Structure 1
Amino acid sequence: MHRRHLLRAVAGTAALSGVAALATRDGDARPTAPGSGEAGDATTASGDSTATPSGTPTPTPTEAVATPTSDYEPIGSVAVEGATEAVLTPEGETAFVAVGDGFAVLDLRDPANPTVVASERDISPPGTTRRMGGVRDVKYDDGRLLVGGPASYDPDSFYGVALFDVSDPTAPAFLRAYETAYPVHNCDLAGEYAYLTRSDREANPLLVVDLGREEPREVARWSVLDRDPVWESVPLQLRTLHDVFVRDGFAYLAYWDAGTWILDVSDPAEPAYVADVRERDPETLAELDGLAVARESSEPPGNDHYAATDPDSSLLAVGKESWNSNFGKEGTTPGPDDPGGPSGIAIYDIADPRSPQHLSTIEPPPTADTNINGVRTTAHNFELAAGHLYSSWYRGGVAVHDLTEPAEPERVRYFRRSSTTNFWTARLTAPGGAVVAASFEDPSDLDAPARVYTFPDVARATPTPTSGSTDATVAPTDPGGRPATEDDGGGEGTDDDRPETSDAVATESATAGDGPGFGPAAALAGLGIGAWRLLGGEESDEEGG
């Protein structure tokens, strides 16, 4: 937790302004084959995280899309047919990957050689002859894995979730399943409860299911219509619940153009509204019809696609997924003067979750073709961990941003190969370990299997015993645990050519007293939302957002 956030939470004096909202829909449907617009790879390999294509002329589709980066490269990869979302165990040694008809298990103990050690495909829960399909999401909690699907309507698939015991990752064991009447685009698992996006094309609610019993049952559901019936007049595709993230008794719901909503789920059977952040009001959205609705659902503003917090719940990141609705066609975006996306990731201060405060927005990598069938570089799934944001941007690559100053995020690592990779997610194994990113297709060879890549994490300050003393000094190490040298800056080059954005840590400045993860503030890093509750936040009737 950042010290300023801690003091604000403990003092209870946060005066954060309300923020308008965000939203969600089925934006994760596998993109169709890229158009003929790509002539190569494209964008800067610099550390400039402020560049944005928004509002700038769009190059013709025959121009190069992006210049591949060269200073940050994978350290390993493995083919995993159908790979999309990936989640990791807390120690970062195992990854579980959604693969369409089930999941695969990866051994990451040697990040340079990720290995598939098990898989569960063609999952057919007891009591049905149908099998799970369209699986695009898996979630892990305390030795169990939740598998949800299908991501969109598929009459031949089993609709719902399946729970597995993965305490031995090499031998997953089916526990139980819960069947729904509608697709489950995304889900989360917290304790004995599953949180599902119920795509019913009506209320599109969050569904809470108790999986801790032999016969799982629904215990609650909640939608934006429960908060305000005016949302019922908004076209369905503008208020689809796309994703849900649960941490520390709070659920964060990405509701596409209806915004991102925060619920108190400390009692899973009684979800309670806390706040929402959104950019459009329901009255404005309700006035749209026809092509205007299609355009609104695919272009900024809005399009809240994925939301997650940092480990101490002091920061909230909201990713927005967008692209040009229908390039050049009458009634939609006219073309180069209005690119219509892509979108980035907004960072909010949620030390007081009732009143989120926008701090910054990380802009997306540029693209020469903003169309839905073009070269997508919009935000996709990500993770906030160890003071950094690990993000995927479809064909825009994988990025790592330092959030030491969340109002001024600094991009410190970046990989892009638009012609051969299309990234779905990015996750951290452990600080100083590896970044795991799944590329679900090779645009240059659509018959090639998906691949899961590993990259080195940023250099980390770690305590090193000093000879003849019990005190610890701190030296930066590379992902392999070796002390970093001037010629080993985590892929940033030598001391002579290392960019100014290098995050190599100077030994003399990274002391045990002021280095990241040390000092009295770190000892209290578990507060955040917990402090808000202790200060009476749960009992307040004040409404935020």
Structure 2
Amino acid sequence: MRHSAPRGRFKRLACLGAVATLAVLGFTAPAQAAAPIPGVDEIASSSNIRQIANVPKTGAFAPESALNSDLAFQGKYAFAGNYNGFTVYDVSNPRTPVSVTQVVCPGGQNDISVYGNLLFTATDSIRNDDSCNSVAVPNTEPEGTPRWEGIRIWDISDPRNPRYVKSVHTTCGSHTLTLVPGKGKDKNKALYVYVSSYNTSSASLPNCALPHDKISIVKVPLKKPTAAAIAATPVLFPDGGFPGDPNSTATSGCHDITAYPEKDLAAGACMGDGVLFDISNPVAPKVVTTVRDAENFAFWHSATFNNDATKIVFTDELGGGGGATCNPTVGSQKGADAIYAIQGKGKKAKLVFQSYFKIPRENTSTENCVAHNGSLIPVPGRDIIVQAWYQGGISVWDFTDAKKPKEIAYWERGPLAADRLIVGGSWSAYWYNGHIYSNDIQKGLDVLKVDDRRLGKTDKQRAWQINPQTQTSYRKW
């Protein structure tokens, strides 16, 4: 979901409330495969996957309104975002993860990434300043009222004691962020942060005027992160991008960008457009090609390359992550994944649609369920991904045959309540060093283990650092 707290723009609801995009519910499809729907807090799964640990939310993160968000990994630590800050877990023993520190620093979504001794969090709600004691500022406050949103930079030389060192204000805030290492003279000296943000509701919102067809790129000197500053604000859609229609969101920025730096490529999920970028010059990304799907995609939300960068899985966050869209009424092609092949090279590359994938299980009307964040599982010669579906649970599926994707494992909880929809479920589900880690919005950190011959010896593979929105070839691990 990558939710955001409401603040007047529809972008805040594009990840939190069902609201406008649920107009697409008029679509009817054949009933999905029948399967028992688990009861409140019951667990259901395929026989080849099991939960081995859970660490509940605590302290300032315990309230229902304090939503858990994204994950990143480095060494023996998992870094887990929450709308009120972030938690650092020691996962050296995946069966007994330990929370070693909780940093309280409100500012949804607190989307999170790590690089070396630096950690980055995204703030996409207007605050009165950049401190961790800041408070939200309503849109109705008069012009001249202090306002801040953007990215925060932390020193994690000691992961148990993160130190806040710098903030950078960005136009329209930072809904998500993506790290791109420097090249050439900047190699090992600088890091670029692609800041994705957007506006879908008003031309006169503070700090987020329309048109907003750009991203912000922050340059971070690795030896002096306090000198981090905006390096460029490239306009990606000079023609305005997709204008929108009753079923699909207009483009006015990007929700998320996944970079594959060693391939000089990035994939953008930009509201009404799916985008392939050339990032051979990290400070000047160029649009190679775009695709649209006004019939079935309501909101292009996120993207994942396969390991060879010959395919992209795009997600559609129908209903903004707050709606019950995993049911026969909505059908199998809305709120789903779309697999595209990258055909051709360089400036001639095109994205060619292959198929849709959606979990083949029905959820109740009190469960928010839609395609969300996932990552590759490093199986040589295969394209296998683990993915979060909010209260639809966690799905492991194979898209080696892009026209015939197939689920090979799943794990889910039943609804949080039978009488009302509580926003919950798995926000992000990622593979790291032989296990699946899920940051559940309400239930905390889950650790799962898959035992399936189709995954080969993935439990033997080790990565030192993983930010799923900055992909690296697993053949180099």
| TM superposition score normalised by structure 1 | 0.60
Match of 1:265 in 2: 279
Residue type of the alignment partner of 1:206? I
Change (3 A) 1:319 1:25: farther
Change (3 A) 1:325 1:265: closer
Match of 2:358 in 1: 363
Say which one has the larger Rg. 1
For 1:250 and 1:477, locate their aligned partners in 2 and report how far apart those are by CA, in whole Å: 28
Change (3 A) 1:272 1:455: same
- Please state how far the C-alpha of 1:98 moved relative to its aligned partner: 0.8
SS at match of 1:202: coil
1:385 to 377, 380, 384: 377
Match of 1:254 in 2: 269
Residue type of the alignment partner of 1:416? E
Q: Segments of 4+ in structure 1 off by > 6 A? A: 232-236, 324-327, 335-341
Asked whether the 8 Å contact 1:25–1:237 carries over to 2, the reply is no
Q: Structure 1 residue 206 and structure 2 residue 215: aligned?
A: yes
Change (3 A) 1:220 1:95: same
Match of 2:258 in 1: 245
Asked whether the 8 Å contact 2:297–2:334 carries over to 1, the reply is no
Match of 1:425 in 2: 428
1:114 to 74, 97, 109: 97
Match of 2:438 in 1: 437
1:155 to 137, 143, 149: 137
Aligned length: 377
Asked whether the 8 Å contact 1:150–1:158 carries over to 2, the reply is no
Match of 1:222 in 2: 234
Asked whether the 8 Å contact 1:83–1:438 carries over to 2, the reply is no
1:457 to 435, 450, 474: 450
Deviating more after overlay: 231-240 vs 346-355: 231-240
Q: Deviation string for 1:470-491 (max 9, x for gaps)?
A: xxxxxx669599xxxxxxxxxx
1:188 to 178, 195, 199: 178
- Please state how far the C-alpha of 1:304 moved relative to its aligned partner: 1.0
Which runs of 5 or more residues in structure 1 are unaligned? 1-23, 33-52, 123-131, 281-298, 328-332, 442-449, 463-475, 482-522, 527-545
Structure 2 matches for 1:222-371, cutoff 5 A? 222-226=234-238, 228-229=239-240, 231=242, 237-240=249-252, 241-248=254-261, 249-256=264-271, 258-280=272-294, 300-323=296-319, 342-350=334-342, 352=344, 354-367=349-362
For 2:330 and 2:307, locate their aligned partners in 1 and report how far apart those are by CA, in whole Å: 38
Residue type of the alignment partner of 1:268? P
Structure 2 matches for 1:78-157, cutoff 5 A? 78-80=55-57, 81=61, 82=66, 84-89=68-73, 93-122=76-105, 132-150=106-124, 154-155=136-137
For 1:216 and 1:415, locate their aligned partners in 2 and report how far apart those are by CA, in whole Å: 41
Asked whether the 8 Å contact 2:236–2:286 carries over to 1, the reply is no
For 1:325 and 1:209, locate their aligned partners in 2 and report how far apart those are by CA, in whole Å: 28
Higher strand share: 2
SS at match of 1:184: coil
Residue type of the alignment partner of 1:252? A
For 2:319 and 2:332, locate their aligned partners in 1 and report how far apart those are by CA, in whole Å: 6
Q: Deviation string for 1:130-152 (max 9, x for gaps)?
A: xx412341112233211001258
Match of 1:128 in 2: none
For 2:73 and 2:451, locate their aligned partners in 1 and report how far apart those are by CA, in whole Å: 20
For 1:139 and 1:458, locate their aligned partners in 2 and report how far apart those are by CA, in whole Å: 28
For 1:120 and 1:169, locate their aligned partners in 2 and report how far apart those are by CA, in whole Å: 11
Asked whether the 8 Å contact 1:105–1:170 carries over to 2, the reply is yes
SS at match of 1:413: strand
For 2:337 and 2:175, locate their aligned partners in 1 and report how far apart those are by CA, in whole Å: 21
Change (3 A) 1:197 1:362: same
Change (3 A) 1:203 1:76: same
For 2:31 and 2:452, locate their aligned partners in 1 and report how far apart those are by CA, in whole Å: 37
For 1:274 and 1:88, locate their aligned partners in 2 and report how far apart those are by CA, in whole Å: 28
| TM superposition score normalised by structure 2 | 0.68
For 1:110 and 1:266, locate their aligned partners in 2 and report how far apart those are by CA, in whole Å: 38
- Please state how far the C-alpha of 1:309 moved relative to its aligned partner: 1.6
For 2:107 and 2:430, locate their aligned partners in 1 and report how far apart those are by CA, in whole Å: 24
For 1:158 and 1:341, locate their aligned partners in 2 and report how far apart those are by CA, in whole Å: 39
RMSD over equivalenced CA pairs, Å: 3.9
SS at match of 2:86: strand
- Please state how far the C-alpha of 1:323 moved relative to its aligned partner: 4.1
Query: Alignment identity in percent?
Result: 19
Change (3 A) 1:83 1:460: farther
Asked whether the 8 Å contact 1:111–1:434 carries over to 2, the reply is yes
Change (3 A) 1:351 1:104: farther
Change (3 A) 1:365 1:206: farther
SS at match of 1:73: strand
Change (3 A) 1:29 1:322: closer
- Please state how far the C-alpha of 1:308 moved relative to its aligned partner: 2.0
For 2:332 and 2:401, locate their aligned partners in 1 and report how far apart those are by CA, in whole Å: 29
Q: Structure 1 residue 170 and structure 2 residue 160: aligned?
A: yes
Asked whether the 8 Å contact 1:83–1:97 carries over to 2, the reply is no
